[in-house]
A and B are shown apart, each in its own frame.
Chain A
Amino acid sequence: MKKSNLTLGTSVAAIALAAASLTPTVSAFADELVIESWRTDDLEIWESQIIPAFNKSHPDIKVRFAPSPPTEYNANMNAKLTAGTAGDLITCKPFDASLDLYNKGHLTKVDDLPGMENFSSVAKSAWQTDDGSTTFCLPMASVIHGFIYNKEAFKELGLEIPKTIPEFMAALEKIKEDGTYIPMSMGTADQWEAATMGFQNVGPNFWAGEKGRKGLIDGTEKLTDPQYVKVYEHLAEWGPYLGKGYKGQSYPDSQNLFSLGRAAIYPAGSWDISTFNGQADFEFGAFPPPVPAGQETCYISDHTDIGLGINAASKNVKAAETFLSWMASAEAGSIFSNALPGFYALSKHELTISDPVAQEFVSWRGKCESSIRNSYQILSRGTPNLENDLWNTSVGVINGSMTAEEAAKKAQDGLASWYKPQQ
């Protein structure tokens, strides 16, 4: 298999090289920067907003955004980088995919780049070596978790925005008693919803965000510790408040139930905002994951999703560095976050976003501590995979087929079976 991979790789490379020698490619222009990306949807935004804004201050550097299909991005990038035909700037997937590119020498260090000081260590963690000593991509965008609610439904039922978990459960109970609305729109059929919108959404409040996430990585905390069992216990309480047949409800079903106005609360990722903007004809708002009773600090999942790095083989490293530094600026962050509601620039600058719900989500950065999904860094490298186990166990507790203790034990046993610090 490896052998055939290799031959496939070389033949792709050979074809790419042949193509490169036949046609004068982008790299022939010494001063044009080419950005590789999987975000085909964003082409228009780059061409009409981001690049013109950059050219206002740097008219001498030509930039071209050249996206390729998302499903083939990783394979495509590997082949292009090996063959030396990749663009100057590479859009980075978080964690292992980009780390792999760095380890193979395809990405440069960006630690000393002017502008890097604008990013927190959480933001940079997705594009760092395991020990955190080297950063190889500029953090570009994140998605934030929370709850979106139907403002009209809340008004109708006289509900306040719940701040603590007991308040949250009381609100769900009240909506259920009234019976007009499904209390919460989430299904367990697709599995990832339960883990991403459930476990990773409310979890950081229990495991204290980065402290818990790092604790799992260095082995000082275990998934069977009370703070993790409590997340499962809380999720188990959700079951009765999800709609009828939630076990067969898929992610699009959940979105539709909410945007049709049939559900009052929707556990969300900020990327849902643009969907609801287009479909819901009622006013909706957002609130951060409620904290356990008596807890002062709140934690949110501000999950790093998109980064930007420099191709080590680029002929325009200087220009690429200038562009990256500009991307780290407040101006670029603001343009990017406004053009794509629900995707937030990761720099520490205050972001003002015109979309009110998107603005609400990002305002939590000021009030709460940011963290990322705890299974993404290092912990999902082995088999059984922690991320997959979290899907399975979150569904298990919500469906009531597993107890919180069983779920925690299953996830922990799986992790400990291959991850040394947890053994």
Chain B
Amino acid sequence: MALKNQRGSFLRTHVFVFLLPAALIYTLFMIIPLIDTVRYSFYDETTEGLTAFVGWDNYILILTDERWWTDFSNALKNNFIFFVIHMFVQNPIGLLLAALLSLPRLKMANSYRTLIFMPTMLSVVIIGFIWKLILSPLWGVGDTLVGFVGMTDGLPALLGEESTALITLSFISVWQFVGIPMMLIYAALLNVPDDLVDAAIVDGANQWTAFWRIKLPLILPTIAMVSVLTFVANFNAFDLIYAVKGALAGPNFETDIMGTMFYRTFFGYQLQPGSATLGATVASLMFLVILCGVMLYLFVIQRRLQRYQL
């Protein structure tokens, strides 16, 4: 008995000691900067470089000034479109691929998995460059390809037209990141015990019904998690747009999302001087948008999810 107690407290100290580095690093590099960013958004920089507390002024400026609000609401709208495309194209495709990969009789499943996951591991700069080349209306291979299906005029400048640029970029991003939902869902599918599926098949179900009636309900929590990850990643996105269109996110800000707007505000661009305080305000607003989305998920969706003990 005494031995057991001793062992228990010994374990608890260990837990604490092991957690300490992570907690320390996380606090130092995540929590403190986050709080400081929010704090900084309540200050203003004068031309002499001094800072002064201004209360809600920065927020009022961004949310009510005509030009700031036009920029901000445009970025928010574009970001929402960017997210919706990922949510309803990337994730269903990821689910489909994962379901196909987990089919028991599929040959070369590992090769497919690696190939589909490959773009995710490439640098965004390379992805942006490759797709810019493919879609280039001057030398791109896209021109020849659409020629085969009878589009003799060649490919329009998909990345240059105001009407298509954002959607094209979203699809490039979907192509790049489809491996992530696929992997997560695939891992969840592997956790579904074979006997459950086998039993259903013995009872007369085919693979199709087995998927819809047995596997899908069991992996719903994973899909929900994938959705939240998509949401957070999309509203923090920046790199692809910056790599392909630059921080001015042209044409005419049609590809501007929160990340690029934050970059322009914080660091400045070309001759535009950056403003750390307004940048912090944009960053705080981004944080708020993401926080609202995640809260919505936590309180509305996650509580209703049924979990099964396997």
A interface with B by C-beta (< 8 Å)? 1-2, 96, 187-192, 243-250, 253, 257, 375-376, 380-381, 383-388, 391-392, 395-396, 399, 401-402, 413-414, 417
Contact = CB atoms under 8 A, between A and B. Distances in A.
A391 B138 contact: no
A180 B271 CA distance: 39
26 contacts: A2-B49, A2-B51, A188-B250, A188-B251, A189-B157, A191-B248, A245-B138, A245-B156, A247-B251, A248-B138, A248-B157, A248-B159, A253-B136, A375-B271, A381-B273, A385-B271, A385-B273, A387-B270, A391-B248, A392-B250, A392-B252, A396-B252, A399-B162, A401-B252, A402-B252, A417-B67
A401 B137 contact: no
B272 interface: yes
B271 A387 contact: yes
A93 to B, nearest CB: 11
A243 B271 CA distance: 29
Given A1-B40, A188-B160, 18 more contacts: A188-B250, A243-B138, A245-B138, A246-B160, A247-B161, A248-B137, A248-B160, A249-B157, A249-B160, A253-B136, A253-B139, A257-B138, A383-B272, A383-B278, A387-B270, A391-B250, A391-B270, A417-B67
A375 B278 CA distance: 23
A395 B255 CA distance: 15
A376 to B, nearest CB: 7
A239 to B, nearest CB: 12
Interface string B246-277: 10101111000000000001000111110111
A81 to B, nearest CB: 15
Interface in B14-50: 36, 40, 45, 49
Contacts of A257: 138
A414 B161 CA distance: 24
A190 B246 contact: yes
Most-contacted residue by chain B among A248, A253, A383, A399 (CB, 10 A): A248
A392 B255 CA distance: 13
Given A399-B162, A414-B67, A247 B270 contact: no
A381 B67 CA distance: 16
Nearest to B158: A248
A1 B276 contact: yes
Contact of B248 (A249, A381, A392, A396): A392
Given A192-B270, A395-B250, A1 B138 contact: no
B157 A388 contact: no
B135 interface: yes
A249 B250 contact: no
Nearest to A4: B36
Contact of A385 (B251, B270, B277): B270
Chain B residues touching A, majority SS? loop
Interface in B92-113: none
A245 B49 CA distance: 45
A401 B251 contact: yes
A247 B248 contact: no
Given A1-B40, A2-B51, A249-B160, A244 B252 contact: no
B178 interface: no
Contacts of B132: 250
A1 B280 contact: yes
A376 B271 contact: yes
Contacts of B36: 1
Nearest to A249: B138
Nearest to B71: A384
Most-contacted residue by chain A among B156, B250, B278 (CB, 10 A): B250
B221 interface: no
Contacts of A375: 271
A286 B45 CA distance: 47
B248 A245 contact: no
A392 to B, nearest CB: 6
B248 A189 contact: no
Most-contacted residue by chain B among A249, A257, A376 (CB, 10 A): A249
B119 interface: no
Contact of B154 (A245, A380, A402, A413): A245
Most-contacted residue by chain B among A192, A380, A399, A402 (CB, 10 A): A399
A188 B278 CA distance: 29
B275 A385 contact: no
Contact of A248 (B45, B67, B136): B136
A191 B269 CA distance: 13
Given A188-B160, A248-B157, A385 B269 contact: yes
A396 B251 CA distance: 8
Given A189-B160, A399-B251, A388 B270 contact: yes
Contacts of A417: 67
A113 to B, nearest CB: 28
A191 B136 contact: no
Contacts of B156: 245
Contact of A388 (B40, B248, B278): B248
Contacts of B277: 1
Contacts of A1: 36, 40, 276-277, 280
A198 B135 CA distance: 25
A188 B248 CA distance: 12
B37 to A, nearest CB: 8
B43 to A, nearest CB: 8
A388 B246 contact: no
Interface in B126-166: 132, 135-139, 154-162
Contacts of A245: 136-138, 154-157, 160
A256 B233 CA distance: 37
Nearest to B274: A383
Interface in B159-191: 159-162
Interface string B46-77: 00010100000000000000010000000000
A322 B98 CA distance: 74
B252 A248 contact: no
Contacts of B67: 384, 413-414, 417
A319 B111 CA distance: 69
A249 B278 CA distance: 33
B252 A247 contact: no
A250 B251 CA distance: 12
A376 B136 CA distance: 32
Contacts of B270: 192, 385, 387-388, 391
A386 B272 CA distance: 8
B47 to A, nearest CB: 9
Contacts of B158: 248
| 8 tightest A-B CB contacts, nearest first | A245-B137, A247-B160, A248-B157, A385-B272, A248-B160, A380-B271, A247-B157, A1-B276
